[in-house]
Amino acid sequence: MSDPITAILDAHDAPRTRNDSLAMLLALASEDRPQLGSLLLQALDRRSPSSTFLDTALDLLPDEAVAPVCIDAWRRYRDGERGELLTSVLEFASYQAPHTLQDDWEALLEVAIEDHIQLASQVWQALPPSVATDWAHRLTEADDDRELERAKAVLLTTQPETHAAARGYLADWSDLDAEVWAHWAGLADGPRLRHLHGRQPLHLRFGREQRRVQVAEEPAWRKRIWRLHPTWNSGQVRHAGRMGGLLDALCGSCHAPLRRLLQTDAAALQPDAEGEVTLGLCLDCCGWEDPPVRFYRHDAQGMPRCHPSQHCQVPINPTDSGDLLQAEVGLAAMDSHRWQQQDWGQSNHRQNLSRVGGAPSWVQSAHYPACIDCGEQMPFVMQLDSTLPTTNEGMLLWGSGGMLYSFWCAKCRVSGHFWQCT
């Protein structure tokens, strides 16, 4: 009689029974999660087909099983092995265990050159200064576009000593302008380094009633994944907050009350800040009516008001998107560094992507709006996925199920918001 892992992989590897393996996987994850590491190592050994099933196993790995799986995949790749599952594990490693790929920088650069493998930007942040200096020197001597991946890697290290060489090479030899590359790297455009996002996100811990609505229409297998997934349930709550409800301020386009996105400690958005900040938005006009980015000035109490430049004398009549369900929420710091960066596509609706701080999970191209008052590019402070319950027992969708991004200019006390979707 075969052991449970062999039985699961036998079912997965046979096309006619592949769908049957998900229930078996979730049972294993519930009863003996460390065995997921053994399952993935065996899947790599037998070269199982890549699938959302195995992506789910990667997502649900316990922390102690992540490094062995990623190290084995990296060894196989460097030994010349190729395959879709191997690609999936290497992409996973770049997000959740970048240290496992950082022992051979030239080999990692070759991975980046193979453009079918999409590495997380954070994988380059540990590039040693000596290596970055050597690579920057190569960029200054290059006379063609064959060093684009090296330049992108050096740019992502965000080291002041090598930033100019990478920025200059990309400006000279790529088809994109300097601002596009800067935003892609999470930097303000210009010779001076200024980061536009932090590294430590706080995941939203939804209230009980919100969770009930969120899972109401989901299939049983997704409910089980959400119960097991650490981004929905783990971590230590660092700040409390409130979501939902109407604000006194009015939308500049339709003149209806703004809705409360999140009210929480100002320190959650800006370290060492005092008091509270309320991020509010017109759910009916943002993204559907011009201008695409909505700006609000915040008073001394942190409450938003429509920016005067975006006020229309004659109100429009938008469609009704409903109100967000009112709830007390928490902002939780995860117990490990695995979830510092999350990819919108890779999460595949398994991960909780609603978070304050950290790096944005862009649906489309990176874009940090310029503050409407001072003109400086605004740091990212929050993203909200299309998993926000409304008062009519529905879910708020940003377009076709995209993501809302929020930004904060501390100098001007201005917030800005826009969303992206496919």
Tens place of pLDDT per residue across the chain (422 aa): 358 899 999 989 887 765 668 889 999 999 999 999 999 999 999 999 999 899 999 999 999 999 999 999 999 999 999 999 999 999 999 999 999 999 999 999 999 998 788 999 999 999 999 999 999 999 999 999 999 999 999 999 999 999 999 999 999 999 999 999 999 999 999 888 999 999 999 999 999 999 999 999 899 999 999 999 999 999 999 999 999 999 999 999 999 999 999 999 999 999 889 999 999 999 999 988 889 999 999 999 999 999 999 999 988 887 677 789 999 999 999 999 999 999 999 999 999 999 999 999 999 999 999 999 999 999 999 999 999 999 988 899 999 899 999 999 999 999 999 999 99
Residues 134 and 241 in one domain: no
Q: What is the predicted pLDDT for the residue at 205? A: 98
Angle, vertex CA 170, rays to CA 199 and CA 383, nearest 5 = 30
Residues 56 and 79 in one domain: yes
Q: What is the predicted pLDDT for the residue at 142? A: 96
189's torsion region: left (phi>0), alpha (psi -120 to 50) or beta? beta
Number of folded domains in the chain?
Answer: 3
Within 10 angstroms of residue 140's Cβ, the number of other Cβ atoms is 11
Residues 330 and 366 in one domain: yes
- Contact between 203 and 234 under an 8 Å Cβ cutoff? The reply is no
357's torsion region: left (phi>0), alpha (psi -120 to 50) or beta? left
Give me the domain span that covers residue 66. 4-115
Angstrom distance (rounded) from CA 26 to CA 55 = 12
Q: What is the predicted pLDDT for the residue at 2? A: 58
Q: Give a yes or no: residue 77 inside a domain.
A: yes
Residues 381 and 343 in one domain: yes
Q: Give a yes or no: residue 330 inside a domain.
A: yes
Residues 174 and 221 in one domain: no
Residues 238 and 359 in one domain: yes
Taken as a whole, the chain contains a residue count of 422
Q: Give a yes or no: residue 121 inside a domain.
A: no
348's torsion region: left (phi>0), alpha (psi -120 to 50) or beta? left
Quick one: CA dihedral 292, 357, 421, 246, positive or negative? Answer: negative
Quick one: CA dihedral 375, 378, 384, 386, positive or negative? Answer: positive
Q: What is the predicted pLDDT for the residue at 174? A: 96
Q: Give a yes or no: residue 376 inside a domain.
A: yes
Q: What is the predicted pLDDT for the residue at 19? A: 63
Residues 140 and 225 in one domain: no
Residues 296 and 243 in one domain: yes
Class of residue 167 by CB neighbours under 10 A (exposed 0-12, middle 13-18, buried 19+): buried
Q: Give a yes or no: residue 44 inside a domain.
A: yes
- Contact between 305 and 296 under an 8 Å Cβ cutoff? The reply is yes
Q: What is the predicted pLDDT for the residue at 18? A: 58
Residues 384 and 255 in one domain: yes
Q: Give a yes or no: residue 286 inside a domain.
A: yes
In sequence order, the 6+-apart residues with CB closer than 8 A to the CB of 169 are: 139, 140, 142, 147, 151
Quick one: CA dihedral 78, 82, 86, 90, positive or negative? Answer: positive
Residue 401 CA to its chain's centroid (Å)? 15
- Spell out where 266-300 has E strands: 276-281, 294-298
Task: Report the predicted TM-score, pTM, of the whole model to 2 decimal places.
Answer: 0.95
Class of residue 270 by CB neighbours under 10 A (exposed 0-12, middle 13-18, buried 19+): middle
Element (H, E) at 375: none
Q: Give a yes or no: residue 122 inside a domain.
A: no
Residues 29 and 150 in one domain: no
Residues 164 and 206 in one domain: no
- Contact between 132 and 164 under an 8 Å Cβ cutoff? The reply is no
Residues 238 and 377 in one domain: yes
Q: Give a yes or no: residue 120 inside a domain.
A: no
**Site of tokens 């078996």:** 24
Q: What is the predicted pLDDT for the residue at 17? A: 62
Q: What is the predicted pLDDT for the residue at 1? A: 38
Q: What is the predicted pLDDT for the residue at 380? A: 98
